[in-house]
Amino acid sequence: MANFSVGIVGLDSMGAALARRLDEQGIGCTATDLNGRMLQAHLASGGSAPAGSPYDLAQVCDLVLIAETSDATLREAVLGSIGLVHKLRPGTIIVDMSDASPQTGPELARALYSKGAIWLEATPVGGPQDAREGKLTLLTSGSSDALERIAPVLRAFASTTLRLGELGSGPLAKSIVATLGALSVAIHTEMMIVAKKAGLDPAGILGAMPLLAPGMGTPPVAVAAEVLSGRYQSGVANRRMQADIARVLEAAREATAPAPLASLVQAAYTGASHSPHATGDHMDAARWMADNAGVEFG
């Protein structure tokens, strides 16, 4: 095992799962959160080695995993009045595992360059349960040498590590895949609406798709499980999906890459959020499409 003093900043669901997994794997870690209640919850659940703030944690850790849940808290944890920046030591490795925009990590990496810190990215694919079971997939970027050095720590909670490219590529890749999923659900839902309005059996059409068009692959599981059943409850928040689509459209604008279909699905998600049937789930968009067509599934 690499000889690091490991710290975790951010004890929401993912950060707490990472801390628990490291403890179980015999990799002691110091943990903190900007929110004192989150730190108290960590201690109440059996977590050990608390630090009062990122400032305090930076004094004792040379490998810091950051698992913040927004751009604002990520910036505050790094550059705020009690942030890491004030006590970082040269050579400290920071691994950004936060749920933030693709621009924020690179921006913070530049801000810490003069401190001699090494900023890496390991965007997690999977949820807290995957972290607790050591089954996360990590989308990594940054120094290859530094990633190799910390690999024993990452392997404690990840079964697969993929290298993507420049800093910021992990969050953008996740948002691209999420947007692709939203597009796929929307397109399939629209075709199921057409099928039902035309007097066809939507479930039969859906089941026949892999045979009728084998090159297309299989339809998203959510179409049968959530749309045709009339449940419309995926467990993924509408606001979360809207944030992913917005990130993709922002990247598209910066790269001058037209993304008209993503813009259309963004409009559908926005419209769905104002529907009287909205529950806050991202499948509200599919329900909104069906409602507008006067179609009821399930």
Around 255, how many Cα atoms within 13 Å sit in the side-chain half-sphere?
Answer: 10
Tell me the C-alpha distance between 23 and 204, whole Å: 49
Q: For the segment 156-196, what is each residue's pLDDT rounded down to a tens digit? A: 999 999 998 889 999 999 999 999 999 999 999 999 999 99
**Mean predicted lDDT score pLDDT of the chain:** 94
**Domain architecture of the chain: domains with CATH:** 6-166 (3.40.50.720), 171-293 (1.10.1040.10)
pTM of the model: 0.85
Token duo for residue 90: 């040269």
Do you know the residue count of the chain?
A: 298
Token duo for residue 174: 């996740």
Does the pLDDT at position 136 exceed 60?
Answer: yes
| Sign of the dihedral through C-alpha 265, 266, 267, 273 | positive
Does the pLDDT at position 1 exceed 70?
Answer: no
pLDDT confidence of residue 2: 57
The conformation of residue 294, written as its DSSP 8-state character, comes to T
Residue 95's CB is within 10 A of a number of other CB atoms, namely 25
123 forms beta bridges with: 139
